[in-house]
Structures are given as C-alpha cells and as structure tokens.
Amino acid sequence: MRVQNPGEIDTHPLILQNLPIPVPSEGEALVKVEACGVCHTDLHIAEGDIIPPFYPITPGHQVVGVIEKFGGNEKHPTFQVGDRVGLPWLYSTCGKCEFCKNGQSNLCHEIRFTGFHVNGGFSEYLIARNDFLLPLPVNLSAAQIAPFLCAGIVGYRAVMRSGVQPGEKVALVGFGASAHLMIQLLRAWNCEVSVITRSKMHQEHAHVLGAEYIGSFSDPLPTDHHRVIIFTPVGESVTNSLRVLRLGGVISINAIHMSDIPSFSYQAIYGERTITSTTNATYQDGVDFLKLAFDLNFRAETTTYDLMDLNRALSDLKHSRINGEGVIQVS
C-alpha cells in the first residue's frame, strides 16, 4: 500500500500496487512481513504533514517479520534465515558521527527511517539493515508484538526523557497506542497515573488499565504532577499541561509532528519547569524496552485490519475509533 499523492485520509491516498520482491544487497536482509502496526506518523505521511524524500513511498515502521534471506550470500553472526525479527522506525545511522559515538544516534544527521527514507512494512516484503534488526520471540502473535516497535519504543524514550522516578505522579495526555503501553510501565514502577483525554472510549480504557485520575483539560485537574508526557500532536496541549505540572516538573513531548504551541507567559514555566521533546529512538532503546515489555508481560490492545483496509485503519486512528493500536495483518 503506497502513497503517490498525499491527501486527507478519508480520500484514500494509499493505493495498492503490485511490485517485484526486492533484492537485498550486502549488509541487508529480505524480510517477509507478518504484521505492521499503524502509527500517527503513517497518518502524517499519508496526509502530507511530513514529506518523505520521494514518492511513491510505502509507509509502515512497526514491522514483525521473518528473515527470508541475506544479501551478498553472507551469514549474520546473530540471526539466521527463518528468525523472527522486528523493524522499528529507525532504519539506519552512520555510526561515525559524534551523536552515534556518544549514545545519541537518534540525532544522527544521516539517520534514515523505515517507511520514510525506504519502503516500509505495509507490504508483503521489505528490505532491512542487518545491524538494526531486533530479535523477537515466537510465542506471541505478530499483532501483539507490532505496537511495541514504535508506540512502545518511542513512548519508552519519552518516559525516560521525562526523568520519571518510581512512585511519582505522572500525567499522560492522549491515550492511544503509546500511552496504553506506557501506563503499564508506570504502574509497574508504582507511579500514580492521571490520563487526560477527551475520548470517552479512551477514558474507559485508561480506567481498566489502572489510571487514578481520568478526565480532560476542561475538568478540574490535579496540579501537582512531577511529569507530564504528551502523546497528542496538538500544540495547545503543551500550554494546558503547564497548568498541571508542579514546580521543578518536566513535560516530555512524544510527537514527530505537532501544531504550533500557543504563546504563554514566562510565569507559566517559572519555577524550574522544563519542556523537552523526544526525537526518534536509538537501537538500544529498542533493546531495553523490548526486554522490559516481555519481562513484565505487557499486553497491547489491538484492532487488526487486512492490508487493503489500511486507509480505513488510518481513518479510525485519526478519529479515535481504536483502543490501543491498529495493526495490519499481512501474512
């Protein structure tokens, strides 16, 4: 399913095309896709909010698949043909720059993304870089694992960027694919979690997952949160979040695209409050989060769709008709 001409999702900008199976080069693997999660970034690409380097492009970057073969007749020291692997948003980095060398490869100037710089996982096959494959277990369904590969990994980085400590009060703004996984992590750390969302369906989901306060910014809210983690691409949520953040607290924004943040008075941030963004994720973030997710038995709430129903899945995502995450079941 490819984007040739981006447009409003209800006009169905993703179209089905038949293409040859790609051929991996040296350092690459051909992966047969089992499932691929549906992300807001895919929606932004489909609607033209963010522009890839070329069209047509196949989005999709929460890929669970099986290695079909390696390029160049080489053998991999870790993986073998037939192994199940995950392909996240991170496709590759240069490995040589100051950011790559100091553990901030997510900021590499030559970073490339799955489903943006190269064709992604809304397809039967795709190419991956061997050094960026993530090992996955075989005892869980592909649909269950797929949300971990972006909603989980990048959400985890946003949580860590906030500096959260066990037992703190944390507010999650928006309650979709990423937040419904992060509340499981925060509850495991004995944090008291508030969920701020207008969606009644998402409010009910938050209640089931253990949120102690549930409401919207139009409701009376607790104002003493140590951390606020924002999962919605609405700039106004940042200024609203300042109202519920205690002195010395941190707002961590988990969004690749956001509408403009309204101006606010200096007094709103005074008191050593901090606003920080989350930019992509490192390979190590993926390794660390997946270990946590599998060790703590995280469960993703999913709605599955066929590949040809991708436009509908993205429309459901846009209009908050999904609890958890939509997943495209490919094979």
Which pLDDT tens digit goes with each residue over 232-272?
A: 999 999 999 999 999 999 999 998 889 999 999 999 999 99
Domains in the chain: boundaries: 2-139+301-329, 153-277
CATH code, residues 2-139+301-329: 3.90.180.10
pLDDT at residue 240, as a whole number: 96
Alpha helices in the chain (DSSP H): 40-47, 98-101, 142-145, 151-161, 177-188, 200-208, 236-242, 266-269, 283-295, 310-318
Q: Each residue of 208-235: pLDDT tens digit?
A: 999 999 999 999 889 999 999 999 999 9
CB neighbours of residue 306 within 10 Å: 11
- Could you tell me what percent of the chain has a pLDDT over 70? 100
Distance, in Å, from the CA atom of 310 to the CA atom of 1, rounded to the nearest integer, reads 8
How much is the mean pLDDT over the chain?
96
What global pTM score does this model have? 0.93
The fold for domain 153-277 equals: Rossmann fold (3.40.50)
